[in-house]
Amino acid sequence: MPLNIDAEERRRLIGELLEEMTAWHPKERIGAFRKWLRGSLSLIHLHVLTVLEADGPLSMRRLAEALDVSVASTTGIIDRMADRGLVERHADASDRRVVLVHATDAGRAVFRDLEAGRRAHLQAMLDRLSDKELVTVLAALRAMRRARTELDALPTDS
């Protein structure tokens, strides 16, 4: 049975959904930060690893641009991360003057570990839902994936 929701009610529903979907309780946030910091990872290290995961190996110049810091600052950051085994530097095969920064297996494992913790937390939450709620949540998430795919297919103005 289709619903007839007016524009104002639709905006209100979307606002409530955004609140529910983006709520991150301070205890959850501090728990995540403590896990990262316990592993000697600063937020800038996580940022570097995220950029490398998204863009692949980058030159120091391109990485500095992505981080919005100087090449000298990037060098210090990468030195500390290399000392911890999170990244490696390799000469670019096409231009030996360019040094590319690569995430190591240990660097990539950071996100696998975070994902495993996130999945365990979500599993515990889903275990608390009724069968009907599980079916409803799955239908909603599939609808959101479809909407995301449609949105991603739209041309960008860049």
Tell me the CATH number for domain 24-152: 1.10.10.10
Contact call for residues 5 and 13 (beta carbons, < 8 A): yes
82's CB contacts (< 8 A; 6+ apart) are 88, 89
Evaluate if pTM is beyond 0.85: no
49 contacts 86 by C-beta, under 8 angstroms: yes
Instruction: Indicate the domain borders of the chain.
Output: 24-152
Q: Quick one: tokens of 49?
A: 């690893």
pLDDT tens digits in sequence order for the chain, 158 residues long: 567 888 898 898 888 888 887 777 777 777 777 776 666 688 899 899 999 999 999 999 999 999 999 999 999 999 999 999 999 999 989 988 899 999 999 999 988 888 888 888 889 989 998 999 999 999 999 999 999 999 999 998 75
The answer to whether 70 and 77 are in contact (CB under 8 A) is: no
Cβ contact 101:112 at 8 Å: no
